[in-house]
Amino acid sequence: MINARLLHIVAALLACAALAPAPVRAQEPAWADALVAIVEGEPITLRELELACRLHPAYHDLPRGDSRERQEFRRAILHEGVEKGELGLIAQKVLLHKAKEAKVELTSNDEERLNQEIARMAERQPGGIDGLREALRRIEVPYEYFVERKRANLHITKLLLTSVSREIFITPTEIRHQYELRRAEFERPGELRLRQIVLYLDPLEDAMSLRHIPADLRKKIRDKDWDARAFATELRAKIDSGELAFEHAQRTYSMGLVVDREEVIATHRLHEASLFPPVPSRVAAMAVGELSEIVETSGSVRSGPVRALHLLLLVDRQDQGVLPLEEVQERLELELKEEVWEKRRDAFITKARADAHVLVFLPAPGN
């Protein structure tokens, strides 16, 4: 077995013979530019490998220094990656070389996509792009290297999309077979979608639940001139005639917590939901799209009983059962096509890697 010292000597000789000497970067160890691999004449230095590792949060949790765990992580990043679908640095270099041979270039639209991706990542950082730069600085990764990695990934993606055919035909028999195999995946629970307008018969003047309703109604409540039943009757007539949309009326007038939203309730738990009787039984008997009559309840959403009037709209009802093939066949076809394409892509990458001229100098962990 070649020992580590001999490997270092060989790497140094190859670096001298094939490459112009690179200056040692400030504040970096002298070995940072040692070669770990040469791919089609292009070097991968230990520094590049280290930077690629630092972009993975898991790497920073490993024992510091040149621990065996870090050596194994570096080896994985060099050869096969550590995450599902990730390419090792060697495979990336091979594909970038093939992209150059095939004259795959990034267009101005591609560069714009790259900038948008980086901008989206920056949005998730406090301080935007400056926050992203600071996050990279904390893990000692130059922003320029990070951007170049993103650009390389875009180059590789473009190569694969132009080199691996997406002409794929999935037969109806294959789709039905997958449907039968995965029937449990397409089971749907019974549920209904409900909107309701709640009007308190005796609302508290300063209640937070009234903060959004129109000022004239708040004045009526304050002046003890509020007639909930008359208002509910008038409101229902406007909704029923089409003069006023239920959603707008809910957003404008509903009191309490149910404001401008649909409640999604499991059908088998309708009578256990936070609905005061007799609302559950009324909802159970309604048809989709039906507007209820005025329903009166008495509950305890605040200290003491609260009497309220409800207008109910059943938006949708979905019975429990298995989604029919017609509803999922397009999704299944797309998934099956993607599986076929991924196999073609993996075969393309494997062949490209096997055909490439690659020299690896990184010793096995522990050597």
Kindly report the CATH number assigned to the domain that includes residue 279: 3.10.50.40
Is the residue at 145 inside a domain? no
Answer yes or no: do 25 and 77 share one domain: yes
For the stretch 336-352, pLDDT in tens is 999 999 999 999 999 99
Q: Would you report the helix, strand and coil content of the chain in percent, each value rounded to 5? A: 55, 15, 35
CA atoms within 13 A on the CB side of 59: 23
User: What does the pLDDT read at residue 207?
Assistant: 62
Answer yes or no: do 352 and 292 share one domain: no
Residue 43 is classified by DSSP as E
Residue with more model confidence, 64 or 144: 144
240 token code pair: 């029923």
User: What does the pLDDT read at residue 205?
Assistant: 63
Answer yes or no: do 276 and 312 share one domain: yes
6 token code pair: 């001999």
Question: What does residue 67 show for φ and ψ, rounded to 5 degrees?
Answer: -70, 160
User: For residues 60 and 66, is the Cβ–Cβ distance under 8 A?
Assistant: no
- How far apart are the C-alpha atoms of 95 and 39, rounded to whole Å? 10
| Reported confidence tier of residue 121, pLDDT bands at 50, 70, 90 | very high
Answer yes or no: do 243 and 279 share one domain: yes
Is the residue at 113 inside a domain? no
In this prediction, residues 261-268 reach a mean pLDDT of 87
Answer yes or no: do 269 and 351 share one domain: no
- How far apart are the C-alpha atoms of 45 and 2, rounded to whole Å? 20
- With 90 as the cut, is the pLDDT of residue 365 above it? no
CB atoms near residue 2 (< 10 Å):
11
Answer yes or no: do 299 and 354 share one domain: no
Answer yes or no: do 273 and 210 share one domain: yes
| Reported confidence tier of residue 32, pLDDT bands at 50, 70, 90 | low
Is the residue at 137 inside a domain? no
Residue with more model confidence, 223 or 342: 342
Domain residue limits at 22:
4-101+346-360
- How far apart are the C-alpha atoms of 229 and 276, rounded to whole Å? 18
Answer yes or no: do 351 and 296 share one domain: no
Query: Long-range CB contacts (< 8 A, 24+ apart) of 323-330?
Result: 323/186, 323/187, 323/188, 325/175, 325/176, 325/179, 328/179, 328/186, 329/175, 329/179
| Reported confidence tier of residue 17, pLDDT bands at 50, 70, 90 | very low
Is the residue at 164 inside a domain? no
For the stretch 137-172, pLDDT in tens is 999 999 999 999 999 999 999 999 999 999 999 999
361 token code pair: 């100098």
- With 60 as the cut, is the pLDDT of residue 290 above it? yes
Answer yes or no: do 202 and 94 share one domain: no
Answer yes or no: do 91 and 204 share one domain: no
Answer yes or no: do 200 and 267 share one domain: yes
Q: Report the percent of the chain where pLDDT is more than 90.
A: 66
- How far apart are the C-alpha atoms of 283 and 194, rounded to whole Å? 8
User: What does the pLDDT read at residue 189?
Assistant: 83
User: What does the pLDDT read at residue 271?
Assistant: 80
Is the residue at 350 inside a domain? yes
CB atoms near residue 94 (< 10 Å):
24
- With 50 as the cut, is the pLDDT of residue 22 above it? no
In this prediction, residues 97-110 reach a mean pLDDT of 94
Is the residue at 132 inside a domain? no
Is the residue at 11 inside a domain? yes
Residue with more model confidence, 304 or 12: 304
User: What does the pLDDT read at residue 29?
Assistant: 47
- Per DSSP, the three-state class of 316 is strand
| Reported confidence tier of residue 247, pLDDT bands at 50, 70, 90 | very high
- With 90 as the cut, is the pLDDT of residue 27 above it? no
User: What does the pLDDT read at residue 117?
Assistant: 93
Answer yes or no: do 292 and 224 share one domain: yes
**Number of domains the chain contains:** 2
Is the residue at 72 inside a domain? yes
User: What does the pLDDT read at residue 65?
Assistant: 83
User: What does the pLDDT read at residue 268?
Assistant: 80
**Angle, alpha carbons 71-156-98 (nearest 5°):** 95
| Reported confidence tier of residue 47, pLDDT bands at 50, 70, 90 | very high
User: For residues 333 and 175, is the Cβ–Cβ distance under 8 A?
Assistant: yes
- How far apart are the C-alpha atoms of 25 and 330, rounded to whole Å? 54
